[in-house]
Amino acid sequence: MSLTGIVVLLKPQGETSRATLNRLQRAVKSHQRRRLEGLSAAEQTGKPPRVGHAGTLDPLAEGVLVACIGEAAKLIEVVQQLPKRYVGTFQLGVTSDTEDAEGTIVALPDPPKPTRAALLEAIPRFVGRIRQRPPVYSALKIAGKRAYQLARQGQNVELASREVDVYGMELIDYDYPLLRLNIECGSGTYVRSLGRDLAEAVGSGAVMTALVRERIGPFSLVNALPPSILDDPESENWLEHLLPPELAVAHLPRVELDAKTTARILKGQKVRQDEIPAPQKTSSGFPAAETTLCAAFSPENHLVSLLEMADNESVKIKKNFSFSPDDLC
């Protein structure tokens, strides 16, 4: 079976997420070539496994970039929905068209100097399920085009506010004009916009000057692999850091299938809810978004499928995962 698993990369500041991922992609291709060496031409079949990442970080930002390889790439959408933890640094008294330091920075005339008490009083307004206006320079689409593309063309871009989940916000440090926030939030939340809105709540403006993503679900900086380890084409030390795909679904309710039902699901055959065990809730230790997905496992404890309990009777197969025949015995 081709290479499958998850690698937690440490994206450096000043590098795009795509560039960091490309390093891993080259390492995977080198591994694939070595694996096929010595095999006959007939045996050398198949493309290198797919490599993708679950959540872009802007060049300004650094931190956790979760990369999924092979069959694990089917879990990218699941990882994207996991809660994230950031440390953001903001400069008060200024604004920017991009809401971060990479845009055009404009100083406010005679801005106030908010007290620490004022900031602490305002922070709870931005915790919970809140409405947030996304930044104009974002990847959200308007009539099929990215908002940032329209903004760069000088067009007037208006994005509607939307609901996002902010699980926690803590003031770590404040020495005017700089403040640092510890933020735990759900998918789709813009940290630079949280800084903008907090500053406006105390009568000022803010620009994000630094951002570190410390965690996505169970994947944290503790596990993060410096991408420089991927740059030696002769080394495969990075394989020691390959994590099992099952970690990406540890927060989902778990269904343990028998061998017969496992085979049916992998063939795409329909099953009813009364034909499978009731999903067992798990305790992931971090906030989880509402979901109807369940992770189904074979008797050998392999991740077989992502199932959705569509209604009171039917089960919808969202994703199936390929394993060797021995895994399905």
The per-residue pLDDT for range 257-271, each reduced to its tens digit, is 999 999 999 999 988
Q: What percent of the chain is predicted at pLDDT more than 90?
A: 67
Q: What is the pTM of this model?
A: 0.89
Strand partners, 317: 307
pLDDT tens-place string over residues 55-89: 889 999 999 999 999 999 999 999 999 999 999 99
Domains present along the chain, CATH in parentheses = 1-82+217-249 (no CATH), 84-216 (3.30.2350.10), 250-329 (2.30.130.10)
Do 24 and 174 meet the contact criterion of CB atoms below 8 Å apart?
no
- Amino acid occupying residue 63: G
**CB neighbour list of residue 188: distance below 8 Å, 6 or more residues apart:** 162, 164
Higher pLDDT, 324 or 212: 212
Nearest CA-CA partner of 288 in 187, 212, 161, 215: 187
pLDDT tens-place string over residues 89-140: 999 999 998 899 999 999 999 999 999 999 999 999 999 999 998 877 666 6
Q: In whole angstroms, what separates CA 40 from the centre of its chain?
A: 40
pLDDT tens-place string over residues 162-204: 899 999 999 999 999 999 999 999 999 999 999 999 999 999 9
Do 11 and 17 meet the contact criterion of CB atoms below 8 Å apart?
yes
Cis link prior to 177 (omega < 30° from 0)? Answer: yes
Q: Above 50 in pLDDT, residue 326?
A: no
Residue the block writes with tokens 């692999």: 225
Provide the Cα torsion 224, 227, 229, 232; round to 10°. Answer: 160
Q: Of residues 58, 100, 110, 258, which has the active-site annotation?
A: 58
Q: Is the dihedral of CA 267, 270, 276, 279 positive or negative?
A: positive
274 given a catalytic annotation:
no
